[in-house]
Structure 1
Amino acid sequence: MTSPGRIGPYRIERLLGAGSFATVWLGHDPVLDARVAIKVLAENWHHDLRVRERFLDEGRLLRRLDHERLVRVHAVGELPDGRPYLVMAWADGGSLADRLAGGPLPVPVALAVLAEIAAGVAVLHRHDVVHRDLTPGNVLFRSTPDGERVLIADLGLAKALAAASGLTARAGTPGYMAPEQDDPLAVVDTRADVYGLGRLGLRLLGADAARPDPARLRPGVPPGVAAVL
């Protein structure tokens, strides 16, 4: 994929990632003299008003919540072709998926990361928001003066419990999404995220990453955690 060179006032340094709905670039903010992550709606979706609105909803939601456990949005812009983009804090530590690709985390580290993820999800739930897509790729790490912080990212599928967004329940990532998310008529609430947390826990603490099984956890997992999983 060819770098656009610039997006608005931001100089693009490199590609961070690309998915079905958006591409994320590492950019430089000349005013703040800081690196930022710039998420751009994919070109093939840019004429779909519903997808465009869902993309912008993610930015509005993150901006409204504005919490240290969530990826922060600094600004929203629009490309000359009309595609919107979100300017966000850059998670310089990469994703949990990146780290797991290098092998399992030590059990104490995995437990600490899982606790941080749960704290981030609790922030969403206190604001009556369901994430609906808790995966290793949506858990990011950012360096701070107080040490590394775990952030919840990608609220593109998040849904306010009281809002009628028009989206069906069928949304999420196989292997992490709750069974009811595969039913377009089901009501999805915070329990779906509890299920997602459990699946993340099995991915972090399971004896076999390819076959998550609550009955087969790695040595050193506390009995209380094992019972919850």
Structure 2
Amino acid sequence: MDVIGRYRLQEQVGAGAFATVWRGYDDDLDVDVAVKVLADNWASRADVRERFLSEARLMRRIASDRVVRVFDLGKLPDGRPYFVMDYVDGGTLADILAGGPVDPADALWWGADLARAVAALHAEGVVHRDITPANLLLRPSNGLESGGGTHRIVLADLGLAKRAAEASGLTQAVGTPSYMAPEQGRGDGGFDERADVYAVGAVTYALLTGRAPFVVSSISDVLGRDPDSNPPSLRPLLHDAVGQLDDLLARALAYRVGDRWQRADTLAEHLEAEAYRLEQEAPMLASARTAAGDPDAVDTTIRSAGTTAHPGRRQWVLAALPVLFVGAAVATWFLLGR
């Protein structure tokens, strides 16, 4: 299959149980696109086809650049539906996590950016239900957004997303267990936008530590968690710079919905504040790691200087240093010459 509609297929970029995603090219518009095609083994299932098409319609209706936008829909000769989306070429947050935990301040910027994206989804009355690193795409920043960094998070894969008014009536547990809120795992329909807030907390914790906050391999593990338990402390990673982070993330990951942050944008504000704080304390943090004999101290310091995909303002500061040195030299020459 080399062509779908007017789109020339370039390479397969993703595959799941229900669909395959291709990078294609639109010759008419002269742009790369992403083409999602229903898997042939589900083509005869009317319910699966409808869910596939519902995802396309939902993504099309959401007016936010933080959600992948659908702009075309069609059928293959064999009758399978497909839809065409903007191609986001910055990889996924799962690619970032493949390299292990990222610099703590960067991790919090990523978490805050994710929370802002989720808040945009909630503003449209939609609950995602499957926020995982693999479903979070990265696009280049336009340089005008807050928080610095070279990329922004874009939500994708809304196959499980539902209108908030519909979510309370769902009676099947779906999602990825490691990032799934307990109330979602029960499958009794008793969940809302705060299930996504939990997932934001879980992804942020994974960025900080390289692992999910709780040992979970199945929905049974989600349901069997002690309601009073908290994720392991971040103190071994951050030492005295941990600040309020343990409490902040424990609240995001609270078992009881009422104990959790109630809105994604509120969580975003707290993550942004902690990111700013850690940036100010970065020299102290590096010294603490070195003093503790952390074998990753040097690598972490290098990554915090701008080698991660989300370097923040530190990259700008490093780029400006040569200019500052030249300016100082010129000033010295001028003063001595007089």
User: What TM-score, normalized to structure 2?
Assistant: 0.62
CA distance in 1, matches of 2:51, 2:169: 10
Instruction: Show CA shifts across 1:57-87 (max 9, x none).
Output: 1111111113111111121111111111111
Q: CA deviation at 1:149?
A: 2.2
CA distance in 2, matches of 1:73, 1:56: 11
1:142 to 134, 139, 142: 139
Letter in 1 for 2:245: V
Tell me the residue number matched to 1:203. 206
Letter in 1 for 2:47: R
Q: CA deviation at 1:226?
A: 2.7
Q: Cα 1:68–1:225, aligned 2, differ >3 Å: closer, same or farther? A: farther
Structure 1 stretches lacking a partner, 5+ long: none
Q: Cα 1:81–1:160, aligned 2, differ >3 Å: closer, same or farther? A: same
Q: Is residue 246 of structure 2 the alignment partner of residue 226 of structure 1?
A: yes
Q: CA deviation at 1:106?
A: 1.5
CA distance in 1, matches of 2:15, 2:84: 15
CA distance in 2, matches of 1:108, 1:72: 29
CA distance in 2, matches of 1:210, 1:128: 27
Tell me the residue number matched to 2:174. 171
1:31 to 21, 25, 28: 28
- Between 175-184 and 160-169, report the one with greater CA deviation: 160-169
Does the 8 Å contact 2:111/2:201 carry over to 1? no
Q: Which protein is richer in helix relative to its size?
A: 2
Q: Is residue 163 of structure 2 the alignment partner of residue 157 of structure 1?
A: no
Q: Is residue 157 of structure 2 the alignment partner of residue 188 of structure 1?
A: no
> 2:244 is paired with a residue of what secondary structure?
helix
Q: CA deviation at 1:182?
A: 2.4
CA distance in 2, matches of 1:143, 1:63: 21
> 2:34 is paired with a residue of what secondary structure?
strand
Tell me the residue number matched to 2:50. 53
Tell me the residue number matched to 2:255. none
Tell me the residue number matched to 2:231. 214
* Aligned pairs (5 A) from 1:92-103: 92-103=89-100
Q: CA deviation at 1:167?
A: 5.2
**CA RMSD, aligned part only?**
2.1
> 2:85 is paired with a residue of what secondary structure?
strand
Q: Is residue 8 of structure 2 the alignment partner of residue 11 of structure 1?
A: yes
Q: Cα 1:81–1:116, aligned 2, differ >3 Å: closer, same or farther? A: same
Does the 8 Å contact 2:125/2:164 carry over to 1? yes
Does the 8 Å contact 1:45/1:51 carry over to 2? yes
Letter in 2 for 1:225: L
Q: Which protein is richer in strand relative to its size?
A: 1
User: What TM-score, normalized to structure 1?
Assistant: 0.90
- Between 182-191 and 134-143, report the one with greater CA deviation: 182-191
Does the 8 Å contact 1:75/1:86 carry over to 2? yes
Q: CA deviation at 1:144?
A: 5.0
> 1:114 is paired with a residue of what secondary structure?
helix
Q: Cα 1:117–1:188, aligned 2, differ >3 Å: closer, same or farther? A: same
CA distance in 1, matches of 2:128, 2:51: 13
Does the 8 Å contact 1:142/1:150 carry over to 2? yes
Greater C-alpha radius of gyration: 2
> 1:219 is paired with a residue of what secondary structure?
helix
Q: Is residue 151 of structure 2 the alignment partner of residue 132 of structure 1?
A: no
Q: CA deviation at 1:205?
A: 1.3
> 2:36 is paired with a residue of what secondary structure?
strand
Does the 8 Å contact 1:133/1:157 carry over to 2? yes
CA distance in 2, matches of 1:196, 1:211: 10
Percent identity among equivalent residues? 51
Tell me the residue number matched to 2:109. 112
